Chain A
Amino acid sequence: MIDLLALGLLVLTAILLLVFTFLRRKSPASLHVIEAYERLNRSVGLAVENGTRLHISLGRGNLLTARGASALAGLAMLRRLAERTSVSDRPPVATSGDASLAFLSQDTLQSGYRAAGAEEQYRFSTGRLTGLTPFSYAAGTVPTIHDENVSTNIILGDLGPESALLTEASDREDANLIAASDNLSAQAVFYASSQEPLIGEELFAAGAYIGAGAAHEASLNVQDILRWLVILGILLGAIWRIMASLGALI
């Protein structure tokens, strides 16, 4: 029964995604303002103009687990940022705490440069593995923030409380910080340490806000519809339980 429900939800989501992608290609969505992404768009332009670097921290999301989705969201953003900053003197640097993710970040950076017609600018050392445990990852990433003329740090992926070390380093360098995670501990850290925190599923909205395409905008529409379905399901479930309890009393 649960398998059937899950399959039904999956098929419904897939159909909705295809329909909304088709619609969004014809008429782009008007998105409500998320201040962090507004700031990110400004920071990207500034970084290119003043010759500073963007640092994208993709976290430690293993792609063989459900945590990999946040890493994939980070990679979608990295792809777009690589394309937009390909003319910069200082290319963006991506750090990862998972080996597979580090390779995908290299491939994504290269794709971004290729799409912008600047593949010769790509350097393998801009996609880095900095550590394989939470603290070694944080310790390996902090020098990138301190020493490489970074003006904006984008932390987007699966991290834990160790992310506080990264936000602290960013704060010390007076760099912009855009941070989002699928991990609740990291979200609490980002709420306390960033100017405009991104909470919950706002992590997955990154692509739509940096112009990654119609499918990303369509995803937001589908997420909204599914959220209402979940709310309806929870309310109906609660009403059913109350009715059942009342029936048992009577």
Chain B
Amino acid sequence: MRVVTAALAIATGIIVLLGYFFPPLEPLRLTLVNWAIAIAGMAVLVGIFNLVAVQMEKIRSRQKGSVYGAVLVISLAATFVFGALVWGPENFYLRLLVVEAIIVPVEAALMAILAVTLIYASIRLLRRRVDVMSVVFLAVALLFLFLVVPTPFGPVPGDQALLQFLGMFSRGGARGLLIGIALGTLLTGLRVLFGVDRPYGGN
């Protein structure tokens, strides 16, 4: 069975890949990709069941933090009942209650915590690792911040020229990193295509 799974996965991958280069294979490629999208959509629904099952196990075995799990399961059930069965997903009050009153403020709060966390990590960087690159990293980050934040006295003189000058280095570095990542992506894809890595199971 595992051999069949691998053969199917490899054949599908090769057809989809060749579909980009040979136009006659294009319709087949699109059909296969559409199937994959439909399956991925279904996977979200099953994934939510997984999320609930993990939280229920936490609650049942009275693990640490299980009270948050209970809140999650109750909220999920309430949103599902009101959103899918009672009011409908487009109901104004439901959206106001769930999205505007809970999700947006919570995510905004996390964003604010993230800002503080990043500042804290930057401060600790020199305690963790004192080398030339860390000092350059921190100095450039601070300089960029100084140049882009609004000041009471208006823009810093020459800020655009300096940003453009510094951007030249950061763009070059970013392109170098992205080229490396693209090569890694290519090789990882080929390994899966050859069946060396099998994330879909099997030894």
Contact = CB atoms under 8 A, between A and B. Distances in A.
Nearest to A102: B47
Contacts of B117: 164-165, 168
B21 A135 contact: no
A41 interface: no
B33 A189 contact: no
Contacts of A69: 184-185, 188-189
Given A13-B190, A69-B184, A111 B65 contact: no
Interface stretch (A47-55, A84-92, A200-208, A241-249): A200-208
Contacts of B21: 3, 6-7
A64 B33 contact: yes
Interface string B172-203: 00101111110111111111101011111111
A103 B46 contact: yes
Contacts of A66: 185
A202 B65 CA distance: 35
B187 A17 contact: yes
B137 interface: yes
B199 A75 contact: yes
B194 A132 contact: no
A128 B51 contact: yes
B180 A227 contact: yes
A104 B118 CA distance: 31
B54 A125 contact: yes
If over half of B's interface residues share one DSSP class (helix, strand or loop), that class is named, otherwise mixed; here it is helix
Nearest to A201: B180
A65 B20 CA distance: 14
A219 interface: yes
B110 A162 contact: yes
Nearest to A127: B50
B118 A73 contact: no
Contacts of B183: 201, 223, 226-227, 230
Given A125-B54, A168-B120, A115 B174 contact: no
Contact of A219 (B20, B114, B191, B199): B191
Contacts of B113: 165
Nearest to B177: A200
A75 B189 CA distance: 13
Nearest to A72: B188
A204 B114 contact: no
Count class of interface residues, chain B = 35 or more
Interface string A125-157: 101111011011011100100110000000000
Count class of interface residues, chain A = 35 or more
A19 interface: no
A201 B47 CA distance: 30
If over half of A's interface residues share one DSSP class (helix, strand or loop), that class is named, otherwise mixed; here it is helix
Nearest to B114: A164
Contacts of B177: 184, 187, 199-201
Interface in A85-117: 99-100, 102-104, 107-108, 110-111, 114-115
A178 interface: no
Contacts of B17: 10
A165 B110 contact: yes
B132 interface: no
B159 interface: no
A65 to B, nearest CB: 11
B84 interface: no
A179 to B, nearest CB: 12
A108 B191 CA distance: 16
A228 to B, nearest CB: 11
Interface string A182-208: 101001010111010001110111010
A102 B53 CA distance: 13
Nearest to B176: A200
The 3 closest A-B pairs by CB, nearest first: A99-B47, A204-B184, A201-B180
17 contacts: A6-B21, A75-B197, A99-B48, A99-B50, A100-B43, A103-B46, A107-B199, A111-B202, A133-B107, A147-B65, A164-B114, A164-B118, A189-B121, A192-B125, A195-B128, A215-B191, A216-B191
